[in-house]
Structure 1
């Protein structure tokens, strides 16, 4: 019989239990033991859920309190010295690495002031991992027993699991050198880290583990030759050492065939490949298997919420079986289900017909099991499921919401003129200088201000009908007034309204566009305790009416300073939603660009002359390998942004924002925004500044980390700006935070912005004398 497998399950809890309790721990409301008990309960629930669904191979060590890569850094003692000098408990060291820590000395503890490690996107997903940071002095050693402990936890419940580890090559390649070791290439540390992997694997074997899922997702990237060679070095050692569990080498998110030579001939027990993202690789990957290795077929989508087309998947798995043999094939999720919501049954408000098109993590367990039964010949027990699935797939294809002739007609009318500003940047800049009269080193923020408990309570009351629209509008106006008053008092130059009315930068717009569906509990982890509810694009997209104009006009009416209109860009709305899988992403992005174009033009007509269209996901959407697909993406992604923003006068200043990715100035240049702001505070490599030194338009490199409660001093801001100005022209430089401030508290926000503005004034005075 063909077995079924899951590569990982969401760890947040069906109702965000992990978020609530982790934040309670940070706020001193619960103890470490209480938080650890919550994690144990979530793990037990997830394992039992998978066992009850009939999944044969269930993962362990897929749980994390923040990030699975950070877990490995702590486990392997990859902890920079700046975090160890405070003698914090392990859990607090872990969270300090994740989000920074700043606290005053008490009678029982010394003062702590340490920033967070860099956080970047996990491949082309909206999940963020904490980047491992290595130095010449890094001493690899086992610093705990988490994978072993969690395996034994499951075993005590009567559930056999397969532990999951990030593999050594991917772990090193995804890391970076620390600021004191910039000449270090992390992959050169392979020989030092392998003995620690071996020690851990031996301990897992001693605990009873027979097989380990070892994730090497970097195999879907363009890899340097020395990194390709590292796979042979690593796995020859890991498979030739006596007493270790079998290894299933696992890749996902793309096509591994360009790197097949790196893993061909490895003596692992089997391989897992993602055939949702790259079904075309089947023939080639099968060719590297020996006659004993298993093939794990990733056929149930771990990245999207659409119901699996069971008939199509069964046909594909049968093709794989014909090339290998049934006893060596495993039916699996394409990747961890971390990227999907927990359970569709918790959605009570979705339209029943549309809801039937979806499958969340819990439902995907049944899909994996059903496909495995079907290819094993157990069709009698699942015939009703197969019939219902076929009917659901057919209904979706034929539904009226998926096709809007008016949207499709307008899409066909897009041309170069529609996606080009009327004048080049130098001419626009001259006009905008006369329009705004901004000082040197203009200061601004990215958009959102703290979303307080009061804001969340009132929004919830309004959603439940407990207060009237008039009462809610007056409340929002009061919040905007307070935000504007603060910005004026602290001395910011270009203001924002603070976004108190917005639940999320994508969901808010999705709720005001045609072609979307929304969940109540469809939460997905973005990073740490930041969870999002991605909207679902179910059909052609259009804008029924203005979305932000009233709010922006009110905000501008209460200040004489420029007020930004704040929008989320087309690529980011696409990437941070669950997109359709029945039409190209280019089509969806351009539809969104047209909808936003209408909003941008309405904002300008209403007197809003600074408009920010954020595209933090534009790098995230970049295809993982160089080639025609990437070239095409860069073209349509930039075109979508320009379609949205090019219908305004030269005097209207277009801003955009980007964060938590390794950005390329050429990609951003293609958008032709007048001003861009980029997350920068945790970038240690001076080369990164240099890359943007020739950027033609204006730019703000983020000066403080908005994911951390830590408040930088005025002197720290001055030093940071000083480093930037060594290579970046002063006349082009803006001062701003890394990202929006919605997750921060007001006390931190006020102090950080006051220090940032003071540093900007320091440099204005300094440059005024030159």
Structure 2
């Protein structure tokens, strides 16, 4: 029986990677300093996993930005627009890598970044590979071999991890018509064989291929590709031990395909889908091992050791101990590093902390499960403590609020419908707002400078009084309102200077939530989030945003948006309690947001944005499961948004996901305006809105805020004309892709001035 891990958080327990990358991008440190930080994080991760009792430790799970971007560089899937950087000879491989992630706009070059989207149904973002017909591949980066050798020099024999060739192609996009990207398998596979050849020469024993698409709905071509790829790999490397990892869903209906592949071990995510196990046990061949993902790699609650041991014993009885492996359900990339760093009892109560496990603690759970399974004893301190914590959590009074449960039970269909249809609402809203054609706005947040962040830190430390903090933020907000008026934005925002994070800020003001101090998780690149934790029933004790919205609106006659995060996004971007259906928690949050929306309306706010970027992210990976999820998630949004008069304009915002396949459900949300990410895909997304004849207003993002690049006014006009070709101009808004919190002021000022200029130019008759 072996223990193994699929991947470990790469940001460092103190977010060392974030600082190292951002210092390098800002020119404050050298490439060698950046590489040294990466090396130290890898070393610490490998040694930690060895100390915690993991038998097969992953390598190549570290990345300076994104593991799929790493793979694109490795196989030379470098789009043609970046070749100028390669040919210049002036930039390192690292600079090329970051240009693909973040764009490049200097030295006479102006190159847009790769598109970014969500990693399946998580809040992690990956860089989308771009493919062209008959595209060749070759080995360009040797990162996977270098890191295997690096670990070996430390005395650690690792299990290199790489995204499998089928999933890699399916994660990408065809950038020209007339071919299917899966047809590139014959071109791509030789590069994988070259990688394996070099690893074999370095005396690798195990290699982990991540093939999450094997757990999704597959067509015949994809099924044939899996068989072809792994048959060829086995033919070339008959002695190599291959672990094929699936996760985030079950192999339901595809167990026979998975079992037929000539690999040594198959990993199952038994947290997300325990029901797949019987099918696999009935078809697994004699020599194949089964990796049991029984420790949750995506949530922070402790494992039920009793239940996991039952599963392990069931499989051991069928296959024998030697063919069983124990692991987390997926990479631990999606959870914080170490619960031991949570030492402030004012932030995280010891009682709640006792119910939790972060990445390091999950490794211990994996090792403990192995020991318990092998030794057959349950009187160990670890097991007894675990069972006592689980029992205490079930009966803890602070979890349950009868009033909240009663309010959810009293929800009626009328609570999820606006009073009038959109066409009538729009007429009433126009009378109040008097907006021009192509109205301009931003998504909500503006750059949070070091000064703003320092004020919040000083307030928490008691170095700044609440009154002084309030005064500073009022001054900052006043300046922002004035500047937005000066450049001619049509609907303003207050900038959200008082907010730390779009979910954490609300969680801090809701009952049923708790927090961590160091529970950081990578979202993309150097961007880390600290998800709040839903441990009990959720309710709103008082208004959360009215103070700042009302103050900002008092400064100007121009409409100022009230800014809220929607119930599904608050749910998705939190660590959510696992002792009741997610839909129940979503409805609880929706009622809290509904109360806030109504209070904003009473305060005179006539435009209210309820951000829901995570609606698509939460969609189940199997289509058969979509209707149930869409029913409760869309209902939750409508509960939060529909308790207002026709004259109040409701916006929502979505970004960095593929929405084409749920466009009708997005329309069912019935928001008056949807602002949506479109710039990195060059308005591809709007084809679906046009074909469907989306009935309400749309603001397609005209520039990418996740890059420091500033597009020209002409470029924005070009994108808006593409949008106008599929969406009636009377339904078009003009806005950035997303909030501006992470950007710097110089690029923000320039980009928004260009954006307003683009909108005004389109209003001129000569361009109509």
Question: Normalised by the size of structure 2, how large is the TM-score?
Answer: 0.97
1:538 aligns with 2:535: yes
SS in structure 1 opposite 2:161?
strand
- Which of residues 407, 414, 417 is equivalent to 1:420? 417
Matches within 5 A, 1:340-359: 340-349=335-344, 350-359=348-357
Report if the CA contact (8 A) 2:682-2:719 is conserved. no
Which residue matches 2:103? 100
1:134 aligns with 2:134: no
Report if the CA contact (8 A) 2:503-2:531 is conserved. yes
Cα shift at 1:166: 0.2
For residues 119 and 622 of structure 1, the distance between their equivalents in structure 2, rounded to whole angstroms, comes to 18
For residues 264 and 330 of structure 1, the distance between their equivalents in structure 2, rounded to whole angstroms, comes to 16
Call closer, same or farther: CA 1:535–1:686 in 2, change over 3 Å. Answer: closer
Which residue matches 2:35? 36
For residues 59 and 543 of structure 2, the distance between their equivalents in structure 1, rounded to whole angstroms, comes to 48
1:313 aligns with 2:308: yes
Once the two structures are superposed, residues 249-284 of structure 1 have per-residue CA deviations (whole angstroms, 9 ceiling, x without a partner) of: 110001112223433321111100100000011011
Cα shift at 1:6: 0.7
For residues 752 and 137 of structure 1, the distance between their equivalents in structure 2, rounded to whole angstroms, comes to 37
Call closer, same or farther: CA 1:507–1:708 in 2, change over 3 Å. Answer: same
Matches within 5 A, 1:695-706: 695-706=694-705
Which residue matches 1:750? 749
Call closer, same or farther: CA 1:76–1:306 in 2, change over 3 Å. Answer: same
Matches within 5 A, 1:479-558: 479-558=476-555
Cα shift at 1:323: 2.0
Report if the CA contact (8 A) 1:665-1:692 is conserved. no
Call closer, same or farther: CA 1:174–1:244 in 2, change over 3 Å. Answer: farther
Once the two structures are superposed, residues 430-454 of structure 1 have per-residue CA deviations (whole angstroms, 9 ceiling, x without a partner) of: 1011111100000000000001111
Call closer, same or farther: CA 1:372–1:692 in 2, change over 3 Å. Answer: farther
Which residue matches 1:367? 365
For residues 551 and 515 of structure 1, the distance between their equivalents in structure 2, rounded to whole angstroms, comes to 24
Which residue matches 1:295? 290
1:649 aligns with 2:645: yes
SS in structure 2 opposite 1:258?
coil
Report if the CA contact (8 A) 1:84-1:93 is conserved. no
SS in structure 2 opposite 1:407?
helix
Which residue matches 1:269? 264
Which residue matches 1:591? 588
Report if the CA contact (8 A) 2:696-2:731 is conserved. yes
For residues 258 and 53 of structure 2, the distance between their equivalents in structure 1, rounded to whole angstroms, comes to 31
Once the two structures are superposed, residues 179-229 of structure 1 have per-residue CA deviations (whole angstroms, 9 ceiling, x without a partner) of: xx2333211100000111001001001111011010000112212221111
Once the two structures are superposed, residues 649-690 of structure 1 have per-residue CA deviations (whole angstroms, 9 ceiling, x without a partner) of: 000000000010001321211111000001000114747434
For residues 253 and 687 of structure 1, the distance between their equivalents in structure 2, rounded to whole angstroms, comes to 25
SS in structure 1 opposite 2:291?
strand
Cα shift at 1:37: 0.6
Which residue matches 2:658? 662
Once the two structures are superposed, residues 493-526 of structure 1 have per-residue CA deviations (whole angstroms, 9 ceiling, x without a partner) of: 0000010110000000000000001000000000
SS in structure 2 opposite 1:611?
strand
1:164 aligns with 2:161: yes
- Which of residues 615, 620, 624 is equivalent to 2:617? 620
Call closer, same or farther: CA 1:336–1:687 in 2, change over 3 Å. Answer: closer
- Which of residues 444, 453, 456 is equivalent to 2:441? 444
Report if the CA contact (8 A) 2:698-2:731 is conserved. yes
- Which of residues 181, 196, 200 is equivalent to 2:195? 200
For residues 712 and 256 of structure 2, the distance between their equivalents in structure 1, rounded to whole angstroms, comes to 51
For residues 671 and 18 of structure 2, the distance between their equivalents in structure 1, rounded to whole angstroms, comes to 36
- Which of residues 570, 575, 584 is equivalent to 2:572? 575
SS in structure 2 opposite 1:142?
coil
Report if the CA contact (8 A) 1:342-1:360 is conserved. yes
For residues 613 and 722 of structure 1, the distance between their equivalents in structure 2, rounded to whole angstroms, comes to 27
For residues 559 and 444 of structure 2, the distance between their equivalents in structure 1, rounded to whole angstroms, comes to 13
Question: Normalised by the size of structure 1, how large is the TM-score?
Answer: 0.97
- Which of residues 135, 147, 150 is equivalent to 1:150? 147
Call closer, same or farther: CA 1:198–1:139 in 2, change over 3 Å. Answer: same
Report if the CA contact (8 A) 1:228-1:259 is conserved. no
- Unmatched tracts of structure 2, length 5 or more: none
Report if the CA contact (8 A) 1:567-1:614 is conserved. yes
Report if the CA contact (8 A) 1:205-1:244 is conserved. no
1:210 aligns with 2:205: yes
Report if the CA contact (8 A) 1:567-1:611 is conserved. yes
For residues 309 and 710 of structure 2, the distance between their equivalents in structure 1, rounded to whole angstroms, comes to 55
SS in structure 2 opposite 1:544?
coil
Report if the CA contact (8 A) 2:135-2:184 is conserved. no
SS in structure 2 opposite 1:447?
coil
Cα shift at 1:399: 0.6
Deviates more, 1:511-520 or 1:691-700: 691-700
SS in structure 1 opposite 2:368?
helix
Deviates more, 1:742-751 or 1:238-247: 238-247
Cα shift at 1:243: 6.2
SS in structure 1 opposite 2:496?
coil
1:251 aligns with 2:254: no
Cα shift at 1:378: 5.7
- Which of residues 178, 186, 193 is equivalent to 1:191? 186
Report if the CA contact (8 A) 1:202-1:243 is conserved. no
1:630 aligns with 2:619: no
For residues 343 and 685 of structure 2, the distance between their equivalents in structure 1, rounded to whole angstroms, comes to 51
- Which of residues 458, 462, 472 is equivalent to 1:461? 458
SS in structure 2 opposite 1:761?
helix
Deviates more, 1:388-397 or 1:138-147: 138-147
Once the two structures are superposed, residues 706-732 of structure 1 have per-residue CA deviations (whole angstroms, 9 ceiling, x without a partner) of: 000000001111111111112211010
Which residue matches 1:108? none
For residues 687 and 528 of structure 1, the distance between their equivalents in structure 2, rounded to whole angstroms, comes to 24
For residues 277 and 610 of structure 2, the distance between their equivalents in structure 1, rounded to whole angstroms, comes to 40
Which residue matches 1:729? 728
Once the two structures are superposed, residues 337-358 of structure 1 have per-residue CA deviations (whole angstroms, 9 ceiling, x without a partner) of: 0000000011112211111111
Report if the CA contact (8 A) 2:711-2:751 is conserved. yes
Report if the CA contact (8 A) 1:198-1:244 is conserved. no
